[in-house]
């Protein structure tokens, strides 16, 4: 509409306006970065995003969890959390104050794809922030008391995670889906026994070997007006030790468990709700036929209150606040999960309905459903990727997947061509590839709830062998 | 120091609807954000949770819109949308391509003006069930999930508008009738009790014209406005509640009544709580987490409210095997020490730097910017707060922070809620 013009629904009296039409979305593309390869193997990717006054810095290091010693799993997480807990020149307390006085927020963590560091800072303080980042990466002191404190904190976190039904369910899902010998079957941050065994020398050794410049990506996103980010990064991180050469991303597939198609009940006596996961192995972004149909499938099946699952379990039955389904790519292979919580006395009926709805997707999706999914994902992209942090997050995710945000752009273009035929083919590929069968068989199913209440009925559903786990 | 100057243009329609437009053409999208001046503070005894249950019904159809169509029609055009309910207000919002702005306004006006024709017993019963599952998922079936409910009930007196939580009680949710829903809509939903904010790819002229087109015909409602209650003074003696059960570790919530939102006293209290417990380098983090190692985590936060009081709290996750009484005594020591000496210059510098970055981060997305503009237009009267807040915090002096702590954060003014592992709770029961 033009300035000053009246709307389409305009009327002269005070009667109701009529329903207006919609103009086509304006032109938009994912921002184009500048790339610079430093001599020490660090890659800088920068995005100028006008109006984003807080810069988002993301560092992605291709560090595989499989590099952790089996008896010290969680050492990467402890190392990440200790990076700013004291450096060669500053105590942990002093360093926290240095960050805070410049308004720098810092976080670090580990995922399957690697080690991530996040910094947010107003543009005017980016140089001091980069110098603090240099100290974090290259001069951490890992004081023994700080390492011990982070170990205790992680042990407390483990108890918190076990207490929250959604976390507990996800932990059991990985343990059931993947072969017990595979790192993917066990918690990213380690378990009680392995975390408790971590000492300073483990952390120092892990840092020395893995926190190096080669293969590392630094993303800087935000309003870069008046800044010379390339020279700022050269000054701050040009001297960071290169380390051994390595690829900039990990590509490892996880071994699936031979007996993954079964039901595990995690007993929670007296639970007023039951947390459910129904899942299977899924594709990654390099899947034949393209990645674009998979987010659409997730949307149609379980991506909104009007998706197939919530149309029944929430809007028709009132069993749940909401259940979500979707595909999550990993570096090689991925997972599909349907997860959420339901009223305790609707546990069995919810499981039956979910299995039925998932199987029903194989009978073919309607053109309208697929169009809705394509429209939602493509038309929300300009808003989803409008902020510095969203752009930086996407860029570092792509970097650690061996891609650039050119993939994001190409995938959005491909998305526009996804129709019901492509969506159906993609679902069929997933179904066959994951060896899913009729009547709810083939899934990995986790049920966190009152075993005494539900066990018999769940067994009678015939979704697979049922075992019960009781937490100590 | 980043200068914050988002453009704001405001107009009030003849029916009382306040419309605020903030132009930003960096992406071809627009955020539509409505704040209605009704929340759980307006609920009457026996009908807690009604404001939130009502919000759910706003997605179940209106005069020209079928049940669920609000979601599907907007999502098909690329909208991300939702609604939330809180003590003081209910908000409805979507961010979408600017070519769909008029559709969004038409859909919003249909439900904000003509909801009741579509509300049915079946919809009410279904959404009542959904809300009960929301309560179970977010409050009843999660460790510490009821802690905030206990904090409100402990810090605020019986009958105070903030004494009960927005989610309400199961019994009251069960008791809600269609007549309640009708009366609630008629009392609170109208253009003269609503703020509409548009942020993004829209000019003020276009935004005001569209608002007039789609909302101009809605009649104002008759508002019976209860005056805001006077400022609640601090507690004179500590109040406390202990809960025992299946929690991973002991946790303390040490809460305080504070001055109402955006007053100088509130800002000063917020600075004090930041220094004592909110910053990464807060005094309690240094003492309890780093030095004494009696806690695994410390947090500090404030919640600005308008009806006679705000809330601030310090939370402590107690280390395994440590005595929660001793940890609480240490918190009281630090409060006394802070009141005696006030913050130092570095602490104040940290508060300002942290506030600036987090406020600019909040304003970075058009949806959150729109939400903050609506918030301050509706509740504190000044939408330009988005541009002035950091300067307001920067102007707070160490002496003001110290004085505010002396007035509001004395240990004897604390309301303490403790969630203790079962065996200890038995010992203190």
For B365-417, the pLDDT digits (tens) are 999 999 999 999 999 999 999 999 999 999 999 999 999 999 999 999 999 99
B356 reaches A (C-beta below 8 A):
yes
B141: in domain: yes
State the nearest Cα–Cα gap between A25 and chain B, in angstroms: 6
State the nearest Cα–Cα gap between A162 and chain B, in angstroms: 8
Exposed e or buried b for every residue in B300-335, given b needs 16+ CB within 10 A?
bebbbbbbbbbbbbbbbbbbeebebeebbebbeebb
CB atoms within 10 A of CB A455: 17
End-to-end CA distance of chain A: 64
Residue A313: its H or E element: helix A308-313
* B361/A54 touch (CB, cutoff 8 Å), yes or no: yes
Non-local CB neighbours of A425 within 8 Å, separated by 6+ positions: A289, A293
Quick one: tokens of A159? 């108890």
DSSP symbols for A113-140: TEEEEEEEEEGGGHHHHHHHHHHHHH-B
B289: in domain: yes
- B217, closest residue in chain A (CA to CA): A14
Q: Do residues B366 and B251 both lie within one domain?
A: yes
- Long-range (24+ apart) CB contacts under 8 A made by B280-289 are B280/A96, B280/A99, B280/A100, B281/A93, B281/A96, B281/A97, B281/A100, B281/B350, B283/B334, B283/B337, B283/B338, B284/B314, B284/B316, B284/B330, B284/B331, B284/B334, B286/A93, B287/B330, B287/B334, B288/B316, B288/B327, B288/B330, B288/B331, B289/A149
Q: Which residues on B lie below 8 Å from A1 (Cβ)?
A: 102, 206, 209-210
DSSP symbols for A58-97: EEEE---GGGS-GGGTTHHHHHHHHTTS-BSSS-HHHHHH
Nearest CA among A274, A263, A297, A261 for reference residue A377: A297
Q: How far is CA B300 from CA A150, B138, B175, B267, B280, in A?
A: 20, 21, 37, 14, 10
Q: Show pLDDT as tens, one digit a residue, over chain A (472 residues).
A: 333 334 455 444 467 899 999 999 999 999 999 999 999 999 999 999 999 999 999 999 999 999 999 999 999 999 999 999 999 999 999 999 999 999 999 999 999 999 999 999 999 999 999 999 999 999 999 999 999 999 999 999 999 999 999 999 999 999 999 999 999 999 999 999 999 999 999 999 999 999 999 999 999 999 999 999 999 999 999 999 999 999 999 988 999 999 999 999 999 999 999 999 999 999 999 999 999 999 999 999 999 889 999 999 999 999 999 999 999 999 899 999 999 999 999 999 999 999 999 999 999 999 999 999 999 999 999 999 999 999 999 999 999 999 999 999 999 999 999 999 999 999 999 999 999 999 999 999 999 999 999 999 999 999 999 999 999 7
Tell me, what CATH number does B394's domain have?
Answer: 3.30.830.10
Range of the domain at B141: 9-215
Q: Which residues on B lie below 8 Å from A121 (Cβ)?
A: 357
Residue A3 pLDDT: 35
Q: Of B183, B215, B247, which marks where a domain is finished?
A: B215
Distance CA B273, CA B314 (A): 8
Distance CA A166, CA A172 (A): 10
Q: Of B215, B248, B274, which marks where a domain is finished?
A: B215
Distance CA A308, CA A297 (A): 11
* A319/B129 touch (CB, cutoff 8 Å), yes or no: yes
B179: in domain: yes
Q: Do residues B297 and B409 both lie within one domain?
A: yes
Q: Do residues B29 and B142 both lie within one domain?
A: yes
For B233, list phi and psi in degrees, rounded to 5: -75, 165
Specify burial of residue B293 (Cβ count, 10 A radius: 0-12, 13-18, 19+): middle
Give the per-residue SS3 of B100-141: HHHHHHHHHHHHHHHCHHHCCHHHHHHHHHHHHHHHHHHHHC
* A318/B129 touch (CB, cutoff 8 Å), yes or no: yes
Which of B2, B29, B71 lies nearest to residue A386, judging by beta carbons?
B29
pLDDT of B154-174, one tens digit each? 999 999 999 999 999 999 999
- A378, closest residue in chain B (CA to CA): B78
Q: How far is CA B418 from CA A92, A230, A249, B167, in A?
A: 30, 51, 46, 21
In chain A, CATH 3.30.830.10 covers 34-237, 263-469
Q: Show pLDDT as tens, one digit a residue, over chain B (429 residues).
A: 778 999 999 999 999 999 999 999 999 999 999 999 999 999 999 999 999 999 999 999 999 999 999 999 999 999 999 999 999 999 999 999 999 999 999 999 999 999 999 999 999 999 999 999 999 999 998 999 999 999 999 999 999 999 999 999 999 999 999 999 999 999 999 999 999 999 999 999 999 999 999 999 999 999 988 999 999 999 999 999 999 988 999 999 999 999 999 999 999 999 999 999 999 999 999 999 999 999 999 999 999 999 999 999 999 999 999 999 999 999 999 999 999 999 999 999 999 999 999 999 999 999 999 999 999 999 999 999 999 999 999 999 999 999 999 999 999 999 999 999 976 554 444
* B97/A382 touch (CB, cutoff 8 Å), yes or no: yes
Distance CA A225, CA A450 (A): 58
Which of A93, A315, A389 lies nearest to residue B68, judging by beta carbons?
A315
Q: What is the value of ipTM here, to two decimals? A: 0.94
* A165/B97 touch (CB, cutoff 8 Å), yes or no: no
Question: CB of A359 within 8 A of CB of A440?
Answer: yes
Q: Of B215, B230, B257, which marks where a domain is finished?
A: B215
* Probe site for chain B from A20, A123, A340 (most B CB atoms < 10 A): A20
* A103/B357 touch (CB, cutoff 8 Å), yes or no: yes
Q: Do residues B170 and B280 both lie within one domain?
A: no
Non-local CB neighbours of A363 within 8 Å, separated by 6+ positions: none
B126 reaches A (C-beta below 8 A):
yes
Give me the helix-helix angle, A144-163 and A75-82, nearest 10°.
Answer: 120
Q: List all residues of chain B from 298 to 327 with a beta carbon under 8 Å from chain A.
A: 317, 319-320
End-to-end CA distance of chain B: 52
Q: List all residues of chain B from 207 to 246 with a beta carbon under 8 Å from chain A.
A: 209-210, 213-214, 216-217, 246
Question: CB of A284 within 8 A of CB of A402?
Answer: no
Specify burial of residue B121 (Cβ count, 10 A radius: 0-12, 13-18, 19+): exposed
Nearest CA among A117, A76, A82, A124 for reference residue A103: A124
State the nearest Cα–Cα gap between B315 and chain A, in angstroms: 15
The strand ranges marked E within A253-355 are 263-267, 273-282, 323-329, 334-343
Report the relative pairing of strands B90-97 and B29-36 from DSSP bridges: antiparallel
B192: in domain: yes
B65: in domain: yes
Distance CA B308, CA A364 (A): 57
- B200, closest residue in chain A (CA to CA): A383
Quick one: tokens of A191? 């378990």
Quick one: tokens of A1? 């509409």
B158: in domain: yes
Q: Which residues on B lie below 8 Å from A20 (Cβ)?
A: 102-103, 106
DSSP B378: I
The alpha carbon dihedral of B31, A409, A38, A79 has a sign of positive
Which of B2, B106, B206 lies nearest to residue A53, judging by beta carbons?
B2
Q: Do residues B371 and B419 both lie within one domain?
A: yes
B4: in domain: no
Q: Do residues B145 and B61 both lie within one domain?
A: yes
- B367, closest residue in chain A (CA to CA): A383
Q: Do residues B47 and B192 both lie within one domain?
A: yes
* A152/B247 touch (CB, cutoff 8 Å), yes or no: no
Q: List all residues of chain B from 43 to 102 with a beta carbon under 8 Å from chain A.
A: 59, 64, 67-68, 71-72, 75-80, 95-100, 102
CATH 3.20.20.150, applies to A34-237? no
* Domain tally, chain B: 2
Would you identify the CATH topology of the domain A263-469?
Answer: Cytochrome Bc1 Complex; Chain A, domain 1 (3.30.830)
Q: Do residues B246 and B335 both lie within one domain?
A: yes
Q: How far is CA B249 from CA A74, A392, B291, in A?
A: 21, 35, 19
Size of interface A-B (CB pairs under 8 A): 240
DSSP symbols for A401-440: TT--HHHHHHHHHHHTT--HHHHHHHHHHHHHHTT--GGG
Q: How far is CA B369 from CA A22, A103, A394, in A?
A: 24, 20, 22
pTM exceeds 0.80 for this model? yes
Distance CA B96, CA B78 (A): 6
Angle (CA) B82-B83-B88 rounded to 5° is 160
Q: How far is CA B381 from CA B372, B376, B409, in A?
A: 12, 6, 27
* SS3 assignment, position A464: coil
Give me the helix-helix angle, A144-163 and A200-210, nearest 10°.
Answer: 90
Q: Do residues B334 and B194 both lie within one domain?
A: no
Say which residue the tokens 């008391």 belong to.
Answer: A145
* B78/A8 touch (CB, cutoff 8 Å), yes or no: no
Q: Do residues B14 and B159 both lie within one domain?
A: yes
């Amino acid at each position: 509409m033009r300035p000053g013009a009246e709307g389409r629904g305009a009327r002269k009296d005070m009667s109701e306006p009529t329903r207006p039409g919609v103009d086509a979305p304006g032109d938009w593309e994912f921002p184009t970065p500048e790339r610079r390869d430093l001599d020490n193997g660090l890659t800088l990717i920068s995005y100028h995003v006008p109006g984003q006054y807080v810069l988002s810095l993301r560092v992605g290091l291709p560090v595989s969890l499989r590099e952790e010693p089996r008896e010290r799993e969680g050492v990467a997480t402890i190392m990440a959390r200790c990076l700013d807990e004291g450096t060669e020149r500053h105590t942990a307390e002093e360093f926290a104050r240095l960050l805070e006085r410049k308004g720098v927020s810092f976080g670090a963590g580990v995922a399957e794809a690697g080690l991530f560091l996040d910094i947010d800072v107003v543009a005017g303080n980016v140089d001091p922030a980069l110098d603090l980042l240099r100290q974090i990466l290259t001069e951490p002191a890992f004081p023994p008391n700080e390492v011990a404190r982070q170990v205790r904190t992680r042990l407390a976190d483990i108890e918190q995670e076990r207490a929250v039904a959604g976390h507990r369910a996800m932990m059991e899902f990985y343990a059931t889906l993947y072969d017990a010998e595979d790192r993917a079957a066990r918690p990213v941050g380690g378990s009680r026994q392995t975390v408790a065994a971590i000492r300073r020398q483990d952390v120092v050794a892990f840092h020395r070997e893995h926190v190096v410049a080669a293969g590392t990506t630094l993303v800087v996103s935000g309003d870069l007006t008046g800044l010379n980010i390339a020279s700022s990064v050269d000054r701050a991180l040009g001297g960071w030790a290169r380390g051994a050469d390595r690829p900039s991303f990990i590509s490892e597939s996880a071994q699936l468990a031979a007996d993954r198609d079964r039901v595990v009940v995690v007993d929670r006596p007296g639970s007023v709700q039951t947390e459910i996961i129904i899942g299977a192995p899924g594709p990654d972004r390099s899947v034949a036929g393209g990645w674009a149909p998979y987010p659409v499938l997730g949307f149609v099946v379980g991506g909104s209150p009007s998706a197939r699952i919530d149309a029944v379990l929430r809007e028709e039955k009132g069993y749940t606040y909401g259940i979500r389904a979707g595909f999550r790519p990993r570096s090689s292979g991925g997972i599909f999960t349907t997860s959420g919580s339901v009223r305790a006395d609707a546990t069995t009926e919810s499981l039956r309905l979910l299995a039925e709805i998932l199987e029903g997707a194989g009978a073919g999706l309607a053109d309208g459903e697929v169009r809705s999914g394509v429209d939602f994902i493509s038309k929300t992209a300009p808003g989803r990727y409008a902020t510095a942090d969203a752009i930086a997050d996407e860029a570092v995710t792509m970097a650690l997947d061996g891609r650039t945000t050119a993939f994001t752009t190409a995938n959005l273009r491909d998305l526009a061509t996804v129709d019901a035929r492509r969506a159906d083919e993609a679902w069929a590929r997933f179904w066959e590839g994951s060896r899913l069968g009729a009547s709810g068989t083939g899934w990995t199913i986790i049920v966190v709830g009152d075993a005494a209440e539900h066990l018999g009925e769940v067994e009678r559903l015939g979704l697979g062998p049922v075992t019960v786990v009781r937490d100590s | 120091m980043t200068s914050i100057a988002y453009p704001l243009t405001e107009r009030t329609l003849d029916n009382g609807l306040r419309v605020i437009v903030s132009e930003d053409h960096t992406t071809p999208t627009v955020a539509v954000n409505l704040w209605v001046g009704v929340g759980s503070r307006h609920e009457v005894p026996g009908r807690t949770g009604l404001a939130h249950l009502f919000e759910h019904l706003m997605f179940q159809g209106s005069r020209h819109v079928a049940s669920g169509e609000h979601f599907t029609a907007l999502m098909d055009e690329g909208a991300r949308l939702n609604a939330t309910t809180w003590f003081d207000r209910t908000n409805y919002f979507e961010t979408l391509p600017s070519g769909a702005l008029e559709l969004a306004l038409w859909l919003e006006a249909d439900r904000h003006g003509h909801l009741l024709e579509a509300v049915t017993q079946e919809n009410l019963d279904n959404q009542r069930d959904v809300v009960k599952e929301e309560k179970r998922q977010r409050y009843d079936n999660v460790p510490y999930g009821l802690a905030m409910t206990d904090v409100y009930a402990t810090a605020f007196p019986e009958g105070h508008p903030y004494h009960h939580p927005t989610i309400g009680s199961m019994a009251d949710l069960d008791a809600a009738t269609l007549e309640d829903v009708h009366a609630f809509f008629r009392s609170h939903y109208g253009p003269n009790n609503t703020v509409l904010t548009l942020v993004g790819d829209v000019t003020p002229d276009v935004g005001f014209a569209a608002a007039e087109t789609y909302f101009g015909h809605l009649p104002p409602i008759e508002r019976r406005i209860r005056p805001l209650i006077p400022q609640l003074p601090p507690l004179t003696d500590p109040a406390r509640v202990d809960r025992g059960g299946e929690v991973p570790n002991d946790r303390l919530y040490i809460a305080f009544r504070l001055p109402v939102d955006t007053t100088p006293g509130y800002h000063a209290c917020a600075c004090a709580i930041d220094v004592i417990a909110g910053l990464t380098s807060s005094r309690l983090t240094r003492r309890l987490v780093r030095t004494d190692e009696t806690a695994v985590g410390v947090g500090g936060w404030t919640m600005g409210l308008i009806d006679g009081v705000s809330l601030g709290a310090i939370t402590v996750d107690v280390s395994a095997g440590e005595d929660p009484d001793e940890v609480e005594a240490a918190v009281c020591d630090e409060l006394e020490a802070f009141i005696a000496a006030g913050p130092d210059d570095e602490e104040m510098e940290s508060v300002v730097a942290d506030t600036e970055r987090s406020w600019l981060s909040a304003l970075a997305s058009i949806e959150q910017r729109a939400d903050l503009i609506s918030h301050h237009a509706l509740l504190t009267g000044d939408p330009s707060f988005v541009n002035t807040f950091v300067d307001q915090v920067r102007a707070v002096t160490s002496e003001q922070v110290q004085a505010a702590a002396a007035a509001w954060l004395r240990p004897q003014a604390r309301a303490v809620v403790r969630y203790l592992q079962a065996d200890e709770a038995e010992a203190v029961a």
